[in-house]
Amino acid sequence: MVEKELLKQWDKEYFWHPFTQMKVYREEDNVIVERGEGNYIYDIFGNKYLDGVSSLWCNVHGHNHPKLNQAICNQVSKISHFTTLGASNVPAILLAKKLTEITPEGLNKVFYSEDGSEAMEIAIKIAYHYWHNRGFKEKNKFITLNEAYHGDTIGSVSVGGINIFHEKYRPLLFDVYKLPSPYLKAVEIAGREKALEYETTKKLIEEVEEFVFQHHQTVAGFVLEAGVQGAAGILPFPKGYLKEIERICREYNILMIVDEVATGFGKTGEMFASIKENVKPDIMALGKGITGGYLPLAATLTTDEIFNAFLGEFGEAKHFYHGHTYTGNPVACNVALANIDLFEEEKTLENVRKNIEILEKRLPEFLELNHVIDVRNYGIMAGVELVKDKKSKEPYPYGERTGFKVAKAMMKRGVWVRPLGDVMVIMPPLSIKEDELNYFLDALKESIVEVCGN
């Protein structure tokens, strides 16, 4: 057994962590997770933490769930992997069928990948290739939103809009049409109190529709997250915005590409945000919660109409030239099937809806704090935004890492979170219990007061 202090040393010496300033990381004491149980993680020293970020927004039913563990073991004992280029496997087939049954009507074809970035990359390529195969080669641009996040590959970054993440790579990216962030524009128009009302949506949509009218002949797809811009700090769409975008896409012959990587699999109280918002995308990307947070898997779903545009004689070269070594991995697909079964067996969505009620009842408490300027939620996904001065809306300097300091204070209280800048993110596993959620919120409030003052 490797000594614990040696593990800490090797972690800092050899492991380059994602989205992490390693100079700072190497100077600090960090959690090295050894195991998990239910909604908790345990580090190598035996310290216990409530998983406040559902393992980066992906854990659904808690850690070390016996049914999910067994699904993995059952498949490993048969075969762990074989290519799906020209072959198939049983779990991948069964999962594809299941996904078409639980997603919005019309999404009848499933293309697998390993994470949400890849699922969105595939969605972009499918949309572009679809119009090319149909002879509309001029439809080669995408409409996207400022403050959008769709992943970290070149295509998904191209349709993203968070400057601190994406601006450095601008010379590598393809050009897109950019529209304002719905929430930020709504606040600008109507103020925070009325930002999410349908009357505000109507004003936003006028601008969107005018832009689409001018450019639709060159647009392959409208790319947007499903109901909330998550990585931008949990910025929810105003009421009816997603439905209005669907209407515009239908009217102007544009593919609606919905990113459900973060929102999918229960976080809204429905299985998918698209179902909650009553929209039927042409292309939908799934990831994160698809395996319950156990193994890397993602999927891009699309319609028969889009799929059929890729059919033809072999010599026509219409087929979709895309695929990965581990596409449709049978172990990941098998645990995904078990994950979906658990939604019904454990009444997961009922638990989520109860917790959403608790969250929405308690979030206004944070606005009483002098350094909280806004609270936002979309389902069980929530953000508490910190500022240096509430009256002037002056933010904390980026380099002060105020959100990180609050997260460290929460660790002392046994809760592990990862903020988005100075937005404290609330994103527990869907299996979190009422008392655990209340403890999480109490710990967050106490930690904000400790770091920022009351």
Ligand-binding annotation for 203, yes or no, is no
Q: Which residues pair with 143 in a beta bridge?
A: 177, 222
CB 53 within 8 A of CB 422: no
- Strand 33-37 and strand 40-43: the pairing is antiparallel
In the numeric block, which tokens belong to residue 11?
Answer: 């972690």
Phi then psi for residue 446, to 5 deg, are: -60, -40
Ligand-binding annotation for 185, yes or no, is no
CB 436 within 8 A of CB 443: no
Ligand-binding annotation for 324, yes or no, is yes
Cα torsion angle, 103, 107, 110, 113, sign: negative
Cβ count within 10 A of residue 395 = 16
In the numeric block, which tokens belong to residue 189?
Answer: 């128009």
Residue 166 is given by DSSP the state: H
Residues with Cβ < 8 Å from 415, sequence gap 6 or more?
49, 50, 52, 439, 440, 443, 444
CA distance 108 to 275: 15
Task: Give the total residue count for the chain.
Answer: 454
CB 348 within 8 A of CB 432: no
CA distance 109 to 97: 9
Ligand-binding annotation for 149, yes or no, is yes
Phi then psi for residue 124, to 5 deg, are: -65, -45
Ligand-binding annotation for 117, yes or no, is yes
Ligand-binding annotation for 97, yes or no, is no
Phi-psi region of 119 (alpha: psi -120 to 50; beta: other; left: phi over 0): alpha
CA distance 31 to 399: 22
CA distance 242 to 237: 7
CA distance 39 to 50: 6
**CB-based burial of residue 15 (10 Å sphere; 0-12 exposed, 13-18 middle, 19+ buried)?**
exposed
Residues with Cβ < 8 Å from 202, sequence gap 6 or more?
none
Residue 424 is given by DSSP the state: E
Ligand-binding annotation for 84, yes or no, is no
Ligand-binding annotation for 418, yes or no, is yes
Nearest 5°: the CA angle 236, 148, 56 is 75
For the chain, the straight-line distance linking the first and the last C-alpha, in angstroms and rounded, comes to: 46
3-state secondary structure of 170: helix
CA distance 125 to 449: 47
CA distance 167 to 64: 39
Which residue positions form the known binding site for substrate? 149, 288, 323, 418
Binding residues for pyridoxal 5'-phosphate: 116-117, 259, 324-325
**Could you tell me which residues are annotated as the binding site?**
116-117, 149, 259, 288, 323-325, 418
